[in-house]
Amino acid sequence: MNDNNSSPIQLLTERVSHARLGLPGPSQDELDTIMRAGMRAPDHAMLRPWRFVVVEGERRDALGEVFKESLRLRGVTDGARLNKALEAPLRAPVVISVLLNFKDHPKVERNEQIGSAAAATYAVSLAANALGFGSIWRTGLYATDPHVISALGGGDEDEVTGFLYIGTREGPSKLTPELDPEDYITHF
Ligand SMILES: Cc1cc2nc3c(=O)[nH]c(=O)nc-3n(C[C@H](O)[C@H](O)[C@H](O)COP(=O)(O)O)c2cc1C
């Protein structure tokens, strides 16, 4: 669906997630562009309440170990679940963890900063799609687990807004039900 020949409006109105992602992933230049898009997210008081942690190549194994340890710390002993955690980051060539980097501010509450980090996450995913890649936004229990957040360089008040899996789409794009705007829009 979305390829790098799409118009911006097509990109926005036809976007779908892709769970099956293979090589190649974005080059360093493309990653730079993708994260520049993230850094243009709306941001009240210019707090920059987000950080991007790029995990690629063999470092994905290290992230898998962090996920596995996260489960172990929660008392999970089931080998299949632990193995699934270990292999989770291998589902795409690049995983960008977007972290909420919370800043204490008298006027900009946490909710607003979460909004900015979520906007950054979506901008990153749209930019990846605009460059012709597929992506999927994942979180799960790992996103709020202090062990995972700390391993990614986050602090006590931070959290993972999204793990963005990015790579070359494998297989066809899924069909998403067409929504009727009438169901979601009113005029005040
Ligand atoms: C904050 C957030 C967290 C999500 N976490 C997961 C997740 O952990 N696992 C997953 O399969 N999908 C997750 N999703 C949903 C997918 O990213 C995707 O949006 C969903 O599968 C619907 O597909 P679509 O984007 O093509 O409409 C999450 C979405 C958001 C916005």
CATH number at residue 51: 3.40.109.10
Question: Which of 121, 139, 131 is CA-nearest to residue 167?
Answer: 131
In a domain, residue 81? The reply is no
- Portion of the chain with pLDDT greater than 90, in percent: 94
Tally of domains in the chain: 1
Domain carrying residue 141:
15-56+92-171
In a domain, residue 156? The reply is yes
How many other C-beta atoms can be found within 10 angstroms of the C-beta atom of residue 6? Answer: 17
Question: Which of 20, 147, 161 is CA-nearest to residue 76?
Answer: 147
**Gap from CA of 83 to ligand 1 centroid (Å):** 22
**Gap from CA of 137 to ligand 1 centroid (Å):** 5
Q: 70-121: per-residue pLDDT in tens?
A: 999 999 999 999 999 999 999 999 999 999 999 999 999 999 999 999 999 9
Q: What is the DSSP string of 84-110?
A: HHHHGGGGSSEEEEEEE-----SSS-H
In a domain, residue 68? The reply is no
Strands (E), the chain: 21-22, 50-56, 94-100, 134-138, 159-169
Task: Inform me whether the pLDDT recorded for 1 exceeds 70.
Answer: no
**Ligand 1 cavity residues, CB under 6 Å:** 16-17, 136-140, 162, 176
Average pLDDT value for residue range 64-73: 98
In a domain, residue 2? The reply is no
The amino acid present at 141, given as its one-letter code, is L
In a domain, residue 109? The reply is yes
In a domain, residue 49? The reply is yes
In a domain, residue 183? The reply is no
**Gap from CA of 38 to ligand 1 centroid (Å):** 18
Three-state SS for 32? helix
The amino acid present at 102, given as its one-letter code, is F
In a domain, residue 87? The reply is no
